[in-house]
Structures are given as C-alpha cells and as structure tokens.
Amino acid sequence: MGAYPSLSIGALSKATGTTVVTIRWYERVGVLPTPARTPGNYRAYGKAHLDRLSFIRRARDLGFSLDEVRDLLRLSDDKDQSCEAVDQVARQHLAEVTRKIADLKALRRELQDLIGQCRHGTFADCRIVQALSPRQSRR
C-alpha cells in the first residue's frame, strides 16, 4: 500500500491505448488536467489521471464528442446530485446515433438501387452515371 507510482506519458499511453500525442492533445483542450512534472520536465501522471483518461476513452469509443465528454466530466464532479443530467446527455447522444443509422440506411438503399441497375455496358448506358447526373429527375 505504498504511494501510487507515477506514470510517464508513454506508460499511460500503453495503459489506455491512447497515443502519446492524443494524451497531450487532451491536456491542451482541457479534458485531462495538467499533470506534475519531473525534474527533467517529463509529465508524471497519477491514478486520477489514469481513471480520467479511461473515462474519456470509453466515452469517445461510445461516440460522445469531446464537448459531451467535458459535460459528463463536469457533471461527475458534482457527486451529490442525481445522475439525471448524465442520463440526459446519454439519451440525447443515443437519439443522435439512432438518427444517423436511419440516414445511413436510406443512403445504403439508394446505393444498392444504383449498383443493382449497372449492367456493365458502355458508359453511355451506365445507370450509375445516369442516376448521379440529373438531379431534377429524381424528385
């Protein structure tokens, strides 16, 4: 149960699967607090940084923007309040993801239609080229 050993940026990088450059970037844009420095000016991270960075990575993997991550972190610093606000952020993000899926599905159907019509003839006959070109003919 000694003092938690401090981590170099490289060690933190390996521990979280985040590149060194990205870690410095997170510090720069204020989602990861500035760590202590060694006499040689190397960053020295503690357990709190490891936890925080893990949180950030997980949220990013789930598609939250850095702004949303900032919100989530700020909310999680007010420990006493109910997590309704957090839930709200998550639900909003979920709605956005759902919308994106719908958009991509519509797009996929269009692409499939397009590709399905291609008969590999000469270019003038190509349905893909025809379908792409005249915007007004496709309501």
Partner DNA sequence: CTTGACCCTATAGCGGCTACAGGGTCCATA
Partner DNA sequence: TATGGACCCTGTAGCCGCTATAGGGTCAAG
CB nearer to a copy of itself: give 37 or 47: 47
- Interstrand relation of 36-37 and 43-44 (parallel, antiparallel or unpaired): antiparallel
SS3 7: strand
Q: What are the structure tokens assigned to 44, written together?
A: 């020295």
Give the per-residue contact string, 48-87, with a copy of itself (x = CB under 8 A; - = no): ---x--xx-xxx--xx--------x---x-xxxxxxx-xx
Residue 113 contact, options a copy of itself, DNA, none, Cβ 5-8 Å cut-off depending on partner type = none
CB burial readout 39-74, b (16+ within 10 A) else e: eeeebebbeebbebbebbbebbeeebeeebbbbbbe
With CB under 7 A as the contact rule, the residue among 11, 62, 128, 129 that binds DNA is 11
Q: What are the structure tokens assigned to 124, written together?
A: 């003038």
Query: Does 91 sit near a copy of itself (CB under 8 A)?
Result: yes
Give the per-residue contact string, 73-92, with DNA (x = CB under 7 A; - = no): --------------------
| Residues making contact with DNA (CB under 7 A) | 8-11, 13, 19-22, 24-25, 38-43, 60, 65-67
